[in-house]
Structure 1
Amino acid sequence: MMTKQPLEVWCTTMSLLRHNPQDVAWLIHESAPELFALIFGSKAIPLLTDFVQRSHNRFSYKNIRVAQAGDRVLGMATILKAEDIHDNADDRTVLSWWEKLRLQLAQRLILSRILQHDYPTGSFYISNLAVHAEYRGRGIGTQLLLQCIADAIAAGASTVFISVDIENSRAYKLYESLGFQVVTTKTMRLFGTTIGSRVLALSIP
């Protein structure tokens, strides 16, 4: 059995000068591939790449924290103020009329029933945590979460929220180990399968 070589990994806010937007968009897609396929279809990664390079959407580079070793981005997560979650001004220029309609239908019929979209003023929301498959199990996800939490505390957060797919027990255990506690669960039945998410909160003393 091969031993994984130690990595010198550090976490930082994404920079368009230092980090490849398409690489980061691929990781965003990996955080919820079925969901992004539903919302954006085959154009998911090109559209996410465009969003990453803009300023007024939840996937903006300003909201992204990356974990890197050398020049390679190994993982990422997004962190937003509660007040910024609904800043979607970039939709007007990035999405076609059909893509906007598709997104609205997905939000109305599915997303509103499985995801929480509103959080208390003064809180922060972490989402879309993803690490390249070959680098999982090395604590990179934990480093990203700790960086996001530290950034939220520095910005005066009262509470930090995070959501996890109801089937993702590994991520759920990680979040619990860092002090997050479940505050609500949202589920629905779709094509004979139960889908949904748990929302967890970490109170900042």
Structure 2
Amino acid sequence: MRFIRLNTDKHDLNKVSELIYETELTIFKQLLGKDEKEATENIRNLVKSGNNYFGHENIHVVCDDDGNMLGILVSFSGRETSSWNDLKAYFRILNFYNFLKCAVKGTLINRSLTASLGKNDYYLSNIAVDPQYRGQGIGTYLLKNAVKTAEDKGCKRVLLDVTFKNKGAKRLYERFGFKVYSKNTPKLFKGHGTLSMEYLLH
């Protein structure tokens, strides 16, 4: 397996956007489109455009020796993210209605359901493994490479958020060494809480 940065000219952006979409179905339906087709198309355009939360510069892929994409990781340090850049990308790519949803509701979601990110933190935003390749250690491989990337960038800890319902992912993260440090249960999003988890770097 190889862990490499996404190449927009080489890799299948449709598959990348579908894998990202699957990590947060409920939220993406609320923010990026009326259905899966519209939402994944918007994600694809954000990926290709770059300089935003889902920009290609923040994405790594895992491929096998034949070039098949097995999984993806969207991640960045606190020094590499900008809410202003995100809003500019949303305004440029989304229709006005979806832009307003991202600008207002998206901001509320980020503040209510995701970890607070410091400059020395490295955040794992979206982790996804293609369903046909699950159970082969690819998730752990993604985490190992994410930690190495965070160390190379001089970060102090790695953060991620996992929904209450995703118990399988929570077990994977705990086995790897992540620990829960915050529970997020906003009243605005009933039934959609998250656990913020951290992995301390030495």
Residues 183 and 193 in structure 2, CA contact (< 8 A), matched pair in contact too: yes
Residues 124 and 160 in structure 2, CA contact (< 8 A), matched pair in contact too: yes
1:120 aligned residue (115, 118, 121): 118
SS of equivalent to 2:136: coil
Question: Does residue 25 of structure 1 match 2:24?
Answer: no
**CA RMSD, Structure 1 to Structure 2 (Å):** 1.8
Residues 160 and 203 in structure 1, CA contact (< 8 A), matched pair in contact too: yes
Task: Point out the structure with the larger strand share.
Answer: 1
Distance 2:26 2:5 in 1: 26
SS of equivalent to 1:161: strand
Question: Does residue 138 of structure 1 match 2:123?
Answer: no
For residues 53-94 of structure 1, the C-alpha deviation after alignment (integer angstroms, 9 at most, x for no partner) is 122111111111111122221211111111333341312211
1:77 aligned residue (73, 84, 91): 73
TM-score (structure 2 length as normaliser): 0.89
Report the AA paired with residue 89 of structure 2: D
Distance 2:106 2:93 in 1: 17
Q: CA deviation at 1:174?
A: 1.0
Which consecutive residues of structure 1, in runs of 5 or more, have no partner in the other structure?
Answer: 1-8
Task: Point out the structure with the larger helix share.
Answer: 2
After TM superposition, where is structure 1 displaced by more than 6 Å over at least 4 residues in a row? none
In structure 2, the CA distance between the partners of 1:72 and 1:174, relative to structure 1 (3 Å rule), is same
Q: CA deviation at 1:115?
A: 2.5
Identity of aligned residues (%): 26
Residues 58 and 84 in structure 1, CA contact (< 8 A), matched pair in contact too: no
Report the AA paired with residue 98 of structure 2: E
Name 2:163's counterpart in structure 1.
Answer: 165
Report the AA paired with residue 93 of structure 2: V
In structure 2, the CA distance between the partners of 1:152 and 1:111, relative to structure 1 (3 Å rule), is closer
For residues 95-152 of structure 1, the C-alpha deviation after alignment (integer angstroms, 9 at most, x for no partner) is 2221111223423555532223x31211110121111111111111111111111111
Which consecutive residues of structure 2, in runs of 5 or more, have no partner in the other structure?
Answer: none
Name 2:3's counterpart in structure 1.
Answer: 11
SS of equivalent to 2:191: strand
Distance 1:83 1:166 in 2: 28
Distance 2:126 2:191 in 1: 21
Residues 90 and 102 in structure 2, CA contact (< 8 A), matched pair in contact too: no
Question: Does residue 65 of structure 1 match 2:63?
Answer: no
TM-score (structure 1 length as normaliser): 0.88
